Amino acid sequence: MLLHRLLQDREIELRDRFAGAVLLLYGRPFTHIAALKTTAVGVDQDGQTTLQLGRGAIPLPEPLGALGLALRHQRVQQLGAEGWLFRGRHAGAHITADSLRCRLKRYGIERSTEGRHGALLALAARLPAPILAERIGIHQAPAAQWVRLAGATYAEYVQVRSTRPATSSRL
């Protein structure tokens, strides 16, 4: 319900909608979201909006992709160049994690823990630990713990990785 509101409610500021949705969908902490640059949002060769959280860019589902592009465009227009996606109080600085937390608190996100844990469990149920770690920018050990908590084993992934050279992996 909260995610739906963030994605659909035009009464909520664009930056709050995007930041809250990224927290709830990808489990990134306030500190990481606050420090995103405009260059983290892009479009791939297929026209899919992407967000770089770790190594490589992940495709954003709609309407989150449209929100990300709109926020990026808004910030580049304001700055006249690339810069922080979430501006802070001082010129050249991004918003602090505490300020972002306060902004999102008015929409029901008081702490990032519950939203982050739910997102990480959902992602861990669908992605092998190495891919989870790489894509959202967390260490492999916690990624493996989340995969175990989600009950996923990914034995097929291990088998494919161990029988094929790393450069020709289909995954």
DSSP, res 37: B
Q: What is the pLDDT of residues 149-169, one digit of tens each?
A: 777 766 555 555 555 554 433
Q: What is the pLDDT of residues 22-66, one digit of tens each?
A: 988 887 889 999 999 999 999 999 999 999 987 778 888 899 999
Dihedral-angle region of residue 92 (phi above 0 means left; psi in -120 to 50 means alpha; beta otherwise)? left
Tell which residue, 33, 30, 3, has the closest CA to residue 111: 30
Q: Which residue did the predictor score with more confidence, 108 or 149?
A: 108
Tell which residue, 128, 116, 120, has the closest CA to residue 146: 120
What pLDDT, on the 0 to 100 scale, is given for residue 8? 93
- How far is residue 150 from each of residues 3, 37, 112, 121, 139, measured CA to CA in Å? 21, 31, 19, 6, 17
pLDDT at 170 over 50: no
| HSE-CB for 148 with a 13 A CA cutoff | 6
CATH tag for 2-110 (out of 3.40.50.300, 3.50.50.60, 3.30.460.90, 1.10.443.10)? 1.10.443.10
| HSE-CB for 40 with a 13 A CA cutoff | 26
What pLDDT, on the 0 to 100 scale, is given for residue 52? 92
Q: What is the pLDDT of residues 65-106, one digit of tens each?
A: 999 999 999 999 998 889 999 999 887 899 999 999 999 999
The domain locations on the chain are 2-110, 115-168
Q: Which residues contact 32 (CB under 8 A, 6 or more apart)?
A: 53, 137
